[in-house]
């Protein structure tokens, strides 16, 4: 399966709180659409419009049907209601479906195809077991930290007895037009005192949304 060069979703705690506070200002206009017919194990993809970081991501990644996404999460059932589990802010955490929807004017729901539906319950259980794990600010695999796409990747991989459902691809943090690193990433990794993980394996919300292992259920785009 062909993938465009990928880059990680950037919702680190340093940027998330500022972004989220702005997004919540317009939360009251959210509609109650993207919960009809959802069930545990479904995946949700968002376009958060988070400024330079999201712009950098969207330039070098592509979601299903050409849409742009900067965040993703898994639907779970908790206390007889649907919620989402996501890696965002400082950790893997559970969020109400209502609060999740209020962040974005674009949400797409998807479900694993029937060929693999037997692993969905195990994937949900594993994702829930990771609640409280720290957010992966450096976007590297296998460090007991998780960013949003990695949470989904690992949950379905473990559920599938170690065989990945979603494909990895080399990350890039470079502007394809100039072949130079985006300034926002230079500043970000300088603050972390870490090298930019150019070319390291990873994935992003857009690449997962385009997986041939998924079927699209709903598209909710508000004006």
pLDDT on residue 221: 74
> Checking DSSP bridges between strand 106-112 and strand 91-96, what pairing results, if any?
unpaired
Distance from the Cα of residue 75 to its chain's centroid: 12
The phi, psi pair for 51, rounded to 5°, reads 95, -150
Would you say 93 and 83 are in contact if contact means Cβ atoms under 8 Å apart? Answer: no
Q: Measure the CA–CA gap between 34 and 49, rounded to whole angstroms.
A: 19
Neighbouring residues of 125: CB distance < 8 A, sequence distance ≥ 6: 159
Q: Which two tokens stand for residue 48?
A: 């958060």
Distances (CA, A) of 140 to 4, 8, 61: 19, 9, 18
- The correct answer on CATH 3.90.1720.10 for the domain covering 13-221 is yes
What's the mean per-residue pLDDT of the chain?
A: 86
Three-class DSSP category at 15: helix
pLDDT number for residue 32? 40
Domain boundaries, the chain: 13-221
Residue 49: pLDDT band by 50, 70, 90 thresholds? confident
The pLDDT tens digits for 80-123 are 999 999 999 999 999 999 999 999 889 999 999 999 999 999 99
pLDDT band, residue 55 (cuts 50/70/90) = confident
How does pLDDT run across 143-171, given as a tens digit for each residue? 999 999 999 999 999 999 999 999 999 99
CA gap 203, 139 in Å, rounded: 9
Query: What does the block give as tokens for 94?
Result: 């559970």
């Amino acid at each position: 399966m062909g993938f465009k060069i990928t880059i990680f979703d950037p919702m680190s705690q340093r940027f998330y709180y500022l972004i989220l506070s702005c997004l919540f200002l317009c939360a009251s206009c959210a509609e109650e659409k993207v919960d009809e017919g959802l069930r545990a194990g479904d995946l949700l993809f968002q376009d958060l419009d988070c400024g330079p970081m999201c712009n950098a991501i969207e330039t070098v990644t592509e979601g299903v049907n050409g849409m742009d996404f900067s965040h993703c999460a898994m639907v779970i059932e908790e206390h007889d209601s649907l919620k989402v589990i996501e890696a965002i802010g400082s950790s893997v955490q559970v969020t109400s479906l209502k609060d999740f929807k209020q962040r974005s004017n674009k949400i797409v729901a998807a479900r694993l195809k029937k060929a693999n539906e037997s692993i969905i319950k195990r994937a949900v259980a594993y994702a829930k077991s990771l609640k409280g794990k720290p957010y992966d600010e450096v976007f590297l695999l296998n460090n007991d930290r998780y960013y949003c796409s990695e949470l989904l990747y690992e949950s379905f991989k473990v559920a599938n007895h170690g065989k990945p459902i979603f494909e990895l691809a080399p990350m890039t943090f470079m502007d394809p037009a100039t072949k130079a690193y985006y300034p926002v990433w230079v500043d970000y990794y300088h603050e972390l005192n870490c090298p930019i993980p150019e070319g390291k394996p990873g994935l992003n919300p857009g690449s997962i949304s385009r997986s041939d292992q998924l079927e699209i259920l709903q598209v909710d785009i508000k004006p």
